[in-house]
Amino acid sequence: MRRRWIADEITGDTAALVGDHAAHLSRVLRAQVGQEFDIATGDEVRRGTITTISYDRVEFALGATPRRKQSLNPTAPKITLALAIFKFDRMEWAIEKCTEIGVSRIIPIIARRTDAHLAAAAAKRHDRWQRLVRQASEQSRREAPPVIAAPVELKDLAAEPVLAAGPTRIVLAESLAESKDETRLTAVLQSSSPTTEVVLAIGPEGGWTDSELTCFHDEGWTAASLGHTILRAETAAIVATALALEALR
């Protein structure tokens, strides 16, 4: 099985990796002219043959006929993860694993309980997160990486373009776990009208505040839990994403 790379540039039957992306292939993996790889171009995967190599650029000639047409399926489940920012090492582990599972979009959220130092540093992590989802997508052989938005405050979440399409919106609330009104995520997904787009909001360490849950309710979000066990934020993100993808297939 050939290794897959997601092209940074595509022009006709030519593709290229650039910058650090190219340096990893050329210097770390010691690629050579003539080697073949699978190249994902966003809507298909084609066999690419290396034609030129430099420190920060590797160019490929793409096969005239796609090896395997990879048209994006418009009916495939699209899961957006609105992920409250928490400790970066654990958050980035969740981003990586949710990418491998198949999340479509990730929106980092600055919540009330997000540590102030993490909130201040989040914008500078955006480039790193983009590299992370690209690497995870190549490893898991996706056709394209998920979109990872710039961090936003919770009050600005409603302005995100993905919400304009009217997807099913679910906020995961651990406070429901001991409530007689508890509703499980799977039950919400099963009772929803047929949909292929879901937005899942996962809170930070310590969970959402009561005022934040009130805001979600006022905006029409449905609250749900993952059960009686209280999960770490990174575990909740992975479990919720996997359950949603399975329910929508």
Residue type, 34: G
Helix axes 88-101, 233-248, angle to 10 degrees: 10
Instruction: Give residue-wise pLDDT tens across range 56-109.
Output: 999 999 985 554 554 445 567 899 999 999 999 999 999 999 999 999 999 999
Mean pLDDT value across the chain: 88
Rg (CA), the chain: 20
pLDDT of 80 reads 96
Q: Which of 169, 190, 179, 188 is nearest to 228 (CA)?
A: 179
Q: What is the pTM of this model?
A: 0.84
pLDDT of 179 reads 54
- Domains by residue range for the chain, with CATH: 4-62 (2.40.240.20), 78-248 (3.40.1280.10)
Burial class (CB in 10 A: 0-12, 13-18, 19+), 111: buried
Instruction: Give residue-wise pLDDT tens across range 24-58.
Output: 898 888 999 999 999 998 878 899 999 999 989 99
Residue 180 has pLDDT above 70, yes or no: no
